[in-house]
Each structure stands twice: as structure tokens, then as C-alpha cells.
Structure 1
């Protein structure tokens, strides 16, 4: 626990950071990261409820790796069309939708290789509380309310499985100074009624005292310091890095665009191939890390007026 302390991370996404209010309009996630574990069932570093859950999820847990940890996330995402003043159904724009999810993730590391598996359960529809959350945010920011929530997707339980493999290059110096760079590639996919897709991509980082992890992008399953490290986190001094990242996805299902699985609902004609790019900056001081990023995505459905864009910030603290 002293060498590999547990961490808590808060991530906030919002397209207001990009000067707009549509599409993936808002998201928030609270993540708890365990220390490196001996195992997932008996290790006393895990609280009793986590060990109990892990007895039922042994089929997800990796074996035979040098380092491993458990990640628990609670998050909400909100999706809206572009015109929030209309009360009628906007047939040629994305549906109103919200998702409230709990994720149980398992990371396992061997040298510069990582595998991460995450099980997501939750709800889409009014039970996600997306409408109430958006109204609260807009009241706080002084923005107008969106008026078309009567047309949001129906309540539907969510069950999704996400898996990725990541490979990190060796850290290399830049010239003779203190700057360093590395590259982190990834490939994986998801299957379930919320998302079914395959993806691959790359992240490049440049900075001072690069962290021994698998990426600074907080939307990645093992990003923002959630992966196990070989040396433990750096608990003193400053470090920083800038990064660029790309991800390409072959999307077979996206409930927020395709509509409910078992009931008739609003839907649009989804694009099967979607690309995303991110630019960001992360800084660490002692036990606290702050990351800021801007994301740019290609159009997700046919007839979409503008390419999606949103901003994100993450605060992570090691105890």
C-alpha cells in the first residue's frame, strides 16, 4: 500500500468546453483504483464488498501477470440533438439519451504490455437521470433547458464488455536534455447492447519524467494512471507531458444512435467508421495529477451538421 497506494479519479467531459451544446454534451465519471494486487479474491488491499464481487467475476480476471489491479467506475453520459428549443421529435438528428453505468475493470501488466477488461452494467433511458442532471447543469451555468426530453430513449438495462490490449515503447530522451517521449498503441473492442465495436489507435507523449503508465487520455480504459506501474507512482516533485492520440472504430452498434434494442424508438442512420483525435496536457505534483484534453470526432451519423467536439479534465489523487 505504501509503494502502490490506491487512487481516486474524477473526470468531467462537456462540449461547452468546445463552445457548443449538442451530441455527447456531458459526462462525469468517478473512478477508484486499487493498489497492485496479489489476487482479486483474497487480497486484503481490497475491501470486503470488492472481494465478494470478484468471486462472481473470476471469468474476467487475468492470470500470470507481474502486476494487476482492480478499477471501479461510476459514470453518466448525456446525449442531445443540436436544437434544444424544439419540443417535437427531430427525426434527422440524434436521439435524446442518457446512460448511467457502473464498471468493474481488471488491468494486468507484463513489462510494457497491458491487458484491460471492463464489465459495464447500468441503465439507458429516464432511469439514467440524464434529464435532471442536464437541467441542474444548465441552471448552474445559466443556459436554457433542452425541451425535447419527452422523446428520449426508453428505459433499458445495459450489459457491455470492453477489452483492450496496449503496448508501450521504451521511454527515449529528446536530445541531451530532460525531455522524453514514448508511444502507446492499443487495439480492442466492445460487445453489448450499448456499444459493439472494434478499435485501434496510438498515443504519442512528450514531457518531463513521463509516468510509468499506459496513456494520459482519460477516456481510454487504462488511461489517467489507472494501470498498474512497475515502480509505483512518483510521489514527489513535478512532472508533465503533452500528448496527441488517435483512435479508429468500426461501429456495429451504438444504442445512443441506433435506438432501443427491444422497443421502437427514435434512431438515426449511423456511420460504421468513426475516427477520433485528441490533444492534451497532463501535470503531476506529488500525489495529485491534472489532465486537460480536447477531442475531435468524425461524423457519427448521416446528415450530422457538425463534427463532434468536446473537452475533458481529470483530477487524480493517490492516497
Structure 2
């Protein structure tokens, strides 16, 4: 999978569609709209309640015309950023949680993944040429009881009158965490006549460094539909396949179907390896993880609504089944 997706990325990067001098988005005008986004990921959409069980993120992304000079000038020193791209900066807040298969067991389950949560905030800057997106993001947060994951799951399960999770006393210890992430995506559009359909393929490469996640990733996403907006697919929570918070539709109503694949070489994952500075529950992680996603997105005016269904291969030795979950994303331009 890694070899295939890298080949896609190199091939698309060499096509004329990715040359900045032919970029109509870059040469026409700046986008004066910012974007609010909300992402909810949950395995209940797949009829499960284990593994990566829930994630939520809210974010704000600036307009291209409203970036402070000191941020814009600072981005010139970021390696690999295009000096000619349109730039945005943004903030996000979120929480993710992980749990073993059997929530009714109070004792530590040595052969299953640890209970864990991550409460985080992120700041980032991106550069978009219309055909190439560079994204640099710093995430800071906390793992352990301070993440409030136990309270969140208890509240949700009590509200829905479902299984009361018993094992959060065994969760990872409190630990501050950081992730520095860099991603690059390439995008090419191909028109179909006479039906008015369009298709694009977006390969990506990326890497994350930190005591939460350290990995290298590659993959590609394909879309087909009407009025493919100037975006890179619906946003998801790391480490899922990347999308983009912003979008710029050219007509009032549009929509597309999409599918993507990803391969990830995992050097460190605190949710499997356990705490960095203290002894804690841990399992033997797998060094390579793959993922597939399929979904649909609709745009109407300044709103985009999308549903993504994701499948992820087993992440640790002894895992009973692969992870499967769904994601609902809602973005609004203002």
C-alpha cells in the first residue's frame, strides 16, 4: 500500500495541473471567507463500542485576507511551504478516547488496549496554491484523567442508557502531550462531458512527531461529483486521512462521493505504548497500519455536510478485530 500511494503522489506531482503558473485559484482572487467546522467520530456508527470509540473537534480557520503580517512572514521560513500560496491560520479544540472491547470488566485487561483519553488544542497554518496544500500544525494537550475522557464516556453512556464502563481506573496516567504535524497534498481535476461531472485525485504525504504520535503516512483520496469545491475533502481527526476545513463552492448546490486509502509507519503511539515517563498499561503495537475510507459530502450555499465511514487495520498484537467507525462533519463559511 505504501509503494502504491507514493507512486500516485509522484505521478500526480508531475502532471501540468499541479504547476503553480497554471493555477486559476491563485491568480484570480483571495477567498474572503473563514470557516467553522465540527467533527464527530464514533464507533457506534459502525455498531461497535471499543477501540477508538469517540472523537470530537471544533475548529476555526481564518479567511485568506485576514492573516496577520507576522504570521504570513513567519510562514516564509517554513521549509517546503509555497511562497506563492494563499495562506490561512486556525485554531481547534478536541477530545479523543480509547477503550478495550469489554467495558464491563473492572480489572486491568492486559491483552487489550488501555483505557485512554486525549484533550487537546491545536494551532496551525496552511498554504494553498489551489492544486497543492501544505499544512503545519502544533497540537498540545493532556492524556490521562485530566483529559476528562472517563467523565465524558460515563455521561454519554448514562444518557443513552447503555453499558456503564467499569475500567477507567486503569487508564493511562496524566501526561502532557504534543504533536508537530506536517502534511502535503496534491490535487488534480478532470472534467467529464456531457454529464457535468468532475473527478479529482489527491495524494498526500505527511509526518507527525511527538510523545502522542510519531509516524510517517502516505495515501490518496479520489472524489467524483458535481461542483467539486476548492477543498481537499472533509476534515477528520488525526491520525485519520487528512482533509481540509475550508471549501470554496462555485455554485449553490453541489456534492461528491469519495474514497481513500492510507498507509502509516508507526514509530510511537502513546495510546498503545503507554505513558512515556511512568509505567502504565501497554500492548505491542504493529509497526504498519492501513486505512480505507468512503463517504459522501453535500454543499449548499456556505454549508458543507459530510459522512465518512472508516476502516482501520489491527493496530496491536492480539487485537480481536480491526477498528471501524463513522464521522459526521459540518463546516460553515462566514
Q: Deviations over 1:81-135 (max 9, x none)?
A: 0000000000000000000010111101234111101100010000000001111
The answer to whether structure 1 residue 6 and structure 2 residue 34 are counterparts is yes
Distance in structure 2 (CA, Å) of the matches to 1:65 and 1:55: 12
Runs ≥4 in structure 1, deviation > 4 angstroms? 54-63
Q: What is the DSSP-based 3-state SS (H/G/I as helix, E as strand, rest coil) of the residue aligned with 1:267?
A: coil
Structure-to-structure mapping, 1:45-194, within 5 angstroms = 62=81, 64-169=83-188, 171-194=189-212
Selected match of 1:27 from 55, 62, 73: 55
Asked whether the 8 Å contact 1:116–1:221 carries over to 2, the reply is no
Residue aligning to 1:265: 280
Counterpart CA distance in 1 for 2:82 and 2:97 is 36
Q: Is 1:223 matched with 2:238? A: no
Q: 2:90 and 2:113 mapped to 1: Cα distance?
A: 31
Distance in 1 (alpha carbons) for counterparts of 2:92 and 2:235? 16
Go from structure 1 to structure 2 and tell me whether the alpha carbon gap of 1:208 and 1:56 turns closer, same or farther (over 3 Å shift).
closer
> Is residue 198–residue 225 contact of structure 2 (8 Å, CA) maintained in 1?
yes
CA RMSD in angstroms, aligned pairs only? 2.3
Conserved? CA contact 1:236–1:287, under 8 Å: no
1:46 aligns with none
How far the C-alpha of 1:188 sits from its partner, in A, is 1.0
1:227-266 correspondence runs (5 A)? 233-234=248-249, 236-266=251-281
TM-score normalized with structure 1 length: 0.89
- Work out the CA distance in 2 between the residues paired with 1:56 and 1:234: 29
- Summarize deviations over 1:246-287 as a string: whole Å, max 9, x none: 110000000000000000000000000000000010000001
Q: TM-score, normalised by structure 2?
A: 0.85
Q: State the secondary structure of the residue aligned to 1:150.
A: helix
CA drift at 1:142: 1.7
Following TM superposition, by how much is the alpha carbon of 1:218 offset from its aligned partner in structure 2, in angstroms?
A: 2.8
Kept after mapping to 1: 8 A contact 2:31/2:65: no
Describe the shift of the 1:90–1:55 C-alpha distance in structure 2 as closer, same or farther (beyond 3 A). farther
- Measure, in 2, the Cα distance between the counterparts of 1:288 and 1:222: 19
Cα gap change, 1:59 to 1:146, in 2 (>3 Å) = farther
Gaps of 5+ in 2: 1-28
Change (3 A) 1:102 1:56: farther
Q: Is the 8 A contact 2:311 2:325 kept in 1?
A: yes
What is the deviation of 1:4?
A: 2.3
1:22-52 alpha-carbon deviations (Å, 9 max, x no partner)? 000000000101001465445xxxxxxxx7x
- 1:295-314 to structure 2, matched below 5 A, reads 295-314=310-329
Q: Is the 8 A contact 1:164 1:188 kept in 2?
A: yes
Specify whether residues 114 and 63 from structure 1 end up closer, same or farther in structure 2 by C-alpha distance, changes over 3 A only: closer
| Compared CA separation, residues 252 and 3, structure 1 to 2 (3 A) | closer
Rounded to whole Å, the distance in 1 between the matches of 2:215 and 2:122 is 18
CA distance in 1, matches of 2:232, 2:146: 34
Structure 1: runs of 5+ lacking an equivalent: 43-50
Write the distance in 1 (CA, Å) between the matches of 2:93 and 2:68.
20
Give the alignment partner of residue 302 of structure 2, picking from 272, 287, 306.
287
Give the superposition deviation at 1:141. 1.9
Match of 1:45? none
1:140 aligned counterpart, secondary structure = helix
